[in-house]
Amino acid sequence: MDDGNKIWIFDTTLRDGEQALKASLTEVEKVAVAQAIARLNVDVMEVGFPVSSPSDFNAVSRIANEVHGPIICGLARAVKADIDACGNALAGAEKRRIHTFIASSPIHLKHKLRKTLAEATEQAVEAIRHARRYTTDVEFSCEDAGRTPIEDLCYMVERAIAAGATTINIPDTVGYTLPHEFAETIWALKEKVPNIEEARISVHCHNDLGLAVANSIAGIEAGARQIECTMNGIGERAGNAALEEAVMALKIRQDKFKAHTQIKSDEIYRCSRTVSQICRMPVQPNKAIVGENAFSHSSGIHQDGVLKAENTYEIMRPEDVGVPTNELNLTSRSGRHVIQHRLHSLGYAKEDYDMERVYADYLELADKKGTVYDYDLEALVFFNTISQNKHYDLSYFQANASSEQVATATVAIEFDGQVQVEAATGNGPVEAAFQAIERITGQTFTIIDYTIDSKGKGADALGQVDLILESDNQRFHGSGLATDVVEASIQAYIHALNDIHRSAQIHQFKHQNLRKTG
């Protein structure tokens, strides 16, 4: 076998992960996801279940021909037709693996297969031998191994290896086991199966109790050398072990595991975003490693520590996983040190403002807004409080959209003492409205983020729109609330425009009256 300290990463985002999606991915989308995962440098990529449909067969075949680097793997039941489909779909791959499986637990044998353990094992042996006609790299899984008596599991595993399986996968199919139980299973296999050293032990854990990564790591500690996982932890029910969490746990705690993977960890964040976008499965903000808040600090004590030494509250650097930098959120929990640091980064010296007065006004504003942005902070320096005067104000709007005609919008905005009206078209009424606003102001901005959230229930629920505009490499947040999504979107855009205008005034005033630090 290979380096005993290497942990193989087997990605199953496009097989087990895709099963969790509300709608199947297209062939083009699957190839795009496969390319992103290949850039991570995973060892094995399970990309589908070829016999399940012509579409899946074609996608597996295309990935096998177009994606290079990882071993390309297809899934097959312990049935000859499945294995033939797998072998044919993988024919163009530089490196290929067939992964076949059959259930081993008493509950599955009795109620699903209606077979004895011996009958299921014989079927597995025949399937493995058939798979070896296509490739010598054959993986075998004992489905529901987590609920299989250890003697039964050893019986099936020993015969699977004798038949030619080179990887033996031990799945906690329903996320039932606890870490110490899962580790005991791996230890028992290593101790009781006489030919176990002829195969690599793999672990495939589900997250029904939130223990998928913990069980996977426990399996590695017990001697397994392959983790089966998915990007962002997507998968059946509560999901699979999250690739990014398992990989970074092994990397950060090398002192404990004395093991390594070949994953390019600085590709993790980009891959996470690609999978999230294509699979239409948002990443929760507090998700470990790749969540929006993973390297974000709001506590004043934490922020102060990170400014002094990042490792006081960060066990890994953001750039280790491809995140450009950490983020210090300005909230009511932020201390004076953080506010002073942010003002310094904006070009203000201590002598330019009264810290106590600015901080008192800052806390009042933070309690109202929740999050304070850089342009808010600059306004506090000059005006002590955010001016509520609006430069731009919505007078009225009208929007039309249908399935047969291009969407149109007319928007009237009051500014500089007069009302100006413009009309525009777009792919939808919101885009048309934004185009009209840009014509009125004569300015075009990049929309970095746009989200809609329902406030309440039913058809009359309010819709809150939050967007972020970028102007001169600075980002401005706008928020709007209305029962009409188009109106809420216009309000959010105008809100951001007012902050952009206010920021421009501040910078003009600063340029004229304040000296800037070097």
Cα 8 from Cα 5, distance rounded (Å) = 10
Average pLDDT over residues 348-371: 76
Cα 31 from Cα 61, distance rounded (Å) = 10
Residues 185 and 83 both lie in one domain: yes
Residues 124 and 217 both lie in one domain: yes
Residues 14 and 136 both lie in one domain: yes
Residues 150 and 102 both lie in one domain: yes
CATH number of domain containing 129: 3.20.20.70
Cα 102 from Cα 452, distance rounded (Å) = 45
Reported as half-sphere exposure (CB side, CA atoms, 13 A), residue 313 has a value of 18
User: Is 516 inside a domain boundary?
Assistant: no
Residues 448 and 373 both lie in one domain: no
- pLDDT tens digits for 120-137? 999 999 999 999 999 999
Residues 379 and 414 both lie in one domain: no
The overall average pLDDT reported for the chain is 86
Residues 119 and 194 both lie in one domain: yes
User: Is 285 inside a domain boundary?
Assistant: no
User: Is 157 inside a domain boundary?
Assistant: yes
Q: Can you give the pLDDT at residue 188?
A: 98
Residues 72 and 213 both lie in one domain: yes
Last residue of a domain, one of 316, 350, 383: 383
At 101, which helix (H) or strand (E)? strand 96-103
User: Is 284 inside a domain boundary?
Assistant: no
Domain that holds residue 114: 8-279
Residues 470 and 419 both lie in one domain: yes
User: Is 476 inside a domain boundary?
Assistant: yes
User: Which of 5-9, 38-42, 212-216, 277-281 has the least mean pLDDT?
Assistant: 277-281
User: Which of 171-180, 297-306, 345-354 has the least mean pLDDT?
Assistant: 297-306
Q: HEC profile for 225-239?
A: CEEEEEHHHCCCCCC
CATH number of domain containing 493: 3.30.160.270
* End-to-end Cα distance, the chain: 59
Residue 230 has pLDDT above 80, yes or no: yes
User: Do 44 and 73 meet the contact criterion of CB atoms below 8 Å apart?
Assistant: yes
Cα 243 from Cα 36, distance rounded (Å) = 13
Last residue of a domain, one of 329, 358, 383: 383
- pLDDT tens digits for 377-399? 766 665 543 344 578 999 999 99
User: Is 517 inside a domain boundary?
Assistant: no
Residues 377 and 500 both lie in one domain: no
- pLDDT tens digits for 460-498? 455 778 898 988 777 888 878 777 899 989 999 998 898
Reported as half-sphere exposure (CB side, CA atoms, 13 A), residue 388 has a value of 1
Residues 194 and 233 both lie in one domain: yes
Task: Using pLDDT thresholds of 50, 70 and 90, give the confidence band for residue 313.
Answer: very low
User: Is 518 inside a domain boundary?
Assistant: no
User: Is 505 inside a domain boundary?
Assistant: yes
Last residue of a domain, one of 335, 357, 383: 383
Q: Can you give the pLDDT at residue 401?
A: 87
Residue keyed to tokens 């205008």: 501
Residues 24 and 42 both lie in one domain: yes
Please state the domain count of the chain: 3
